[in-house]
Amino acid sequence: MNAKKILICGLPGSGKTTLALKLAPFIGAVHFDGDAVRKITGNPAFNAFGRQHQCNVMRDLCDKVKDSGHHVIASFVCPTDQLREVFDADFTIFMDTISSGRYEDTNLIWQPPREPDFVIHMHDSYRASDIVAKLWRPEPDPERVWNNAAPTAVMIGRFQPWHKGHRALFEKALDKYGQVCILVREMPLDDNNPMAFAHVCERIHVDLYPTYGAHYIVRWVPNVAAVVYGRDVGYAIDEIRLDKVTEAVSGTNIRLGRMKSGL
């Protein structure tokens, strides 16, 4: 996906920073925390001027990161529609977890976002991957409808990166079963697994969505070590063989080639 400027807003104490610290490494984003930025800029004022200055600084910092091609997250109260319009986020997450904050002056001016892209309510159970699924949102096609009850093939892998060998396997599975669920294993970020889930997800969607639309879904799963089953489970473990050239495609070689070329 193109670089995104993400705003996490909500009343003081609603969990903005906690969410940002979980989400930022998951999507490979730079994170600016409102309180930290205030300390650096020496802006102690919470009057109209101080809040406007804070919003301008957060916007300018985030725009510089976004312009460099990286995702960026700003977690700060951003309490009014006017300030949120100034910040101009690509994606807004509203922490709707408390009814009032610890500062009465903020409570008095607080305006909940009118149409946030993602809302987290008190006691909500959510994962960072749920936000990513909403963050990468192709334009819906009414003629492409995923059917969760239809026969489905499952592909499990790291996909570091997704490449033409994976696509060839996907197309064989799709032809045989009608739709495919792609399960991306959570891996520790290192030289062998340099891509966060959001980047893996992006590459898959860019490659598949224009042609295959809702004939597939992508899901984030734990680091699967084994697939176990008992008797009469109702599904098969199906090895699909490809031609030798395609099977020889190696994600490791692709990663090493990019490192050597500086990409």
- Asked which of 60-69, 114-123, 244-253 is least confident by mean pLDDT, the reply is 244-253
For residue 62, what pLDDT is reported?
96
- Asked which of 113-117, 164-168, 221-225, 247-251 is least confident by mean pLDDT, the reply is 247-251
Residue boundaries of the structural domains of the chain:
5-135, 153-261
Arithmetic mean of pLDDT, 224-235:
85
- Asked which of 81-85, 86-90, 182-186, 251-255 is least confident by mean pLDDT, the reply is 251-255
Q: Return the top range by mean pLDDT from 68-82, 205-219, 223-237.
A: 68-82
Kindly tell me if the per-residue pLDDT of 51 is higher than 70: yes
CATH code 3.40.50.620 for 153-261: yes
Kindly tell me if the per-residue pLDDT of 262 is higher than 50: no
**Tens-place pLDDT, residues 115-152:** 999 999 987 776 677 787 777 655 555 565 788 899 99
- Choose between 251 and 92: higher pLDDT: 92
Cβ 44 vs Cβ 38: under 8 Å: yes
Q: Name the band, by pLDDT with cuts 50, 70 and 90, for residue 3.
A: confident
pTM: 0.63
Kindly tell me if the per-residue pLDDT of 207 is higher than 90: no
**Nearest partner of 220 among 239, 190, 240, 199, judged by Cα:** 199
Q: Name the band, by pLDDT with cuts 50, 70 and 90, for residue 170.
A: very high
Arithmetic mean of pLDDT, 206-213:
82
CA-to-CA distance for 30 and 10, rounded, in angstroms? 19
Kindly tell me if the per-residue pLDDT of 261 is higher than 50: no
Kindly tell me if the per-residue pLDDT of 201 is higher than 90: no
For residue 140, what pLDDT is reported?
54
For residue 77, what pLDDT is reported?
97
Q: Name the band, by pLDDT with cuts 50, 70 and 90, for residue 206.
A: confident
For residue 259, what pLDDT is reported?
45
**What backbone phi and psi angles, to 5 degrees, belong to 209?**
-60, -40
Angle, helices 164-177 vs 197-212, to 10°: value is 50
Residue where the block lists tokens 């042609």: 211
Cβ 112 vs Cβ 14: under 8 Å: no
Q: Name the band, by pLDDT with cuts 50, 70 and 90, for residue 166.
A: very high
| CATH superfamily, with its number, for domain 5-135 | P-loop containing nucleotide triphosphate hydrolases (3.40.50.300)
- Choose between 128 and 53: higher pLDDT: 53
Long-range CB contacts for residues 241-248, cutoff 8 Å, separation at least 24: 242/165, 242/168, 242/169, 242/172, 246/164, 246/165, 246/168, 247/165
Arithmetic mean of pLDDT, 72-96:
96
Q: Is the dihedral of CA 113, 119, 120, 124 positive or negative?
A: positive
Using a 10 angstrom Cβ sphere, with 0-12 exposed, 13-18 middle and 19 or more buried, the burial of residue 160 is buried
Q: Pairing mode, if any, of strands 91-96 and 180-185?
A: unpaired
For residue 136, what pLDDT is reported?
67
Supply the mean pLDDT for the chain.
87
CA-to-CA distance for 220 and 15, rounded, in angstroms? 23
CA atoms within 13 A on the CB side of 20: 25
